[in-house]
Amino acid sequence: MQAWIAPSILSADFSRLGEEIEAVLAAGADIIHFDVMDNHYVPNLTIGPLVLESLRKAGIDCFIDVHLMVKPVDRLIGDFLDAGANLISVHPESTEHLHRTLSLIRDGGAQAGIVFNPATPLHALDEAIGLVDLVLIMSVNPGFGGQGFIPESLDKLRRVRRRIDESGREIRLEVDGGIKAGNIADAARAGADTFVAGSAIFGADDYAATIAAMRAALDLAHGV
Ligand code: DX5
Ligand code: ZN
């Protein structure tokens, strides 16, 4: 599977969000990661479906990966589908009925993702692996950009990689939190193929150079 670099707009300049997205796409990003926080499931508050809808209306047509950190989550899924999400990821802790939530996403025509926090066991994968297009491993506790990568996440990535391979399904393995050019190769070797990076990209002066450095590290990890 082709590696995807997914800038998280959490660290973008929100007063110029559309321009920031165009800039990272022009700089070589593959998709955009859209973090939604509710000050309830996580201790921070960000943006909702109206912002996604505005971006779509402004002509932003790239693949948008919506990471929902909200509880309860089901009621917002239709809004994000209507707003133009390509993929919607949910945390098992944010819903009473994970099967229903994942089905709402898939029946609405988007891809579905399941997200595991650093201390959340992978049990939900037993029953849900057949219903997801992406597994997202949090390598920080969700809520804020700019935190340090939790090294135990590498082992978790390896375990999920094995389970995805055993399933025989086409499922992306995404990692989110503390990813930068200096550690992206470790995550790739552990099996990740989709790399969220917020502060490392939007905090840099030169987006293209930063994404190119990440891509070079990935090529090295893959032996290209
Ligand atoms: C954290 C968010 C991340 C965040 C990553 O809760 O889910 O997507 O933006 O930011 P960095 O890359 O700065 O750790
Ligand atoms: Zn995220």
Q: Are 214 and 5 in contact (CB under 8 A)?
A: yes
pLDDT-derived band of residue 3, with 50, 70 and 90 as boundaries?
very high
**Ligand 1 atom at minimal distance to the Cα of residue 142:** 6
Distance 61 CA to ligand 1 centre (A): 22
**With bands split at pLDDT 50, 70 and 90, how would you rate the model's confidence at 224?**
confident
Residues at CB less than 6 angstroms from ligand 1: 8, 10-11, 33, 35, 67, 140, 142-143, 145-147, 176-179, 196-200
Q: 192 and 2 in contact (C-beta within 8 Å)? A: no
As a whole number of Å, the CA-based R_g of the chain is 16
**What's the DSSP call for residue 148?**
P
Q: How many helices (H) and strands (E) does the chain have?
A: 9, 8
Is the pLDDT at 217 greater than 90? The verdict is yes
**176 labelled catalytic:** yes
Active-site residue flag, 133: no
Distance CA 209, CA 185 (A): 16
Supply the pLDDT for residue 119.
98
Q: How far is the CA of 214 from the centre of ligand 1 (A)?
A: 16
Q: How many Å lie between the centroid of ligand 2 and the Cα of residue 165? A: 24
Mean pLDDT of 106-126: 98
pTM assigned to the model: 0.98
What would the pLDDT profile of 22-69 be if each residue is shown by its tens digit?
999 999 999 999 999 999 999 999 999 999 999 999 999 999 999 999
Closest CA relative to residue 122, chosen from 132, 112, 114, 133: 114
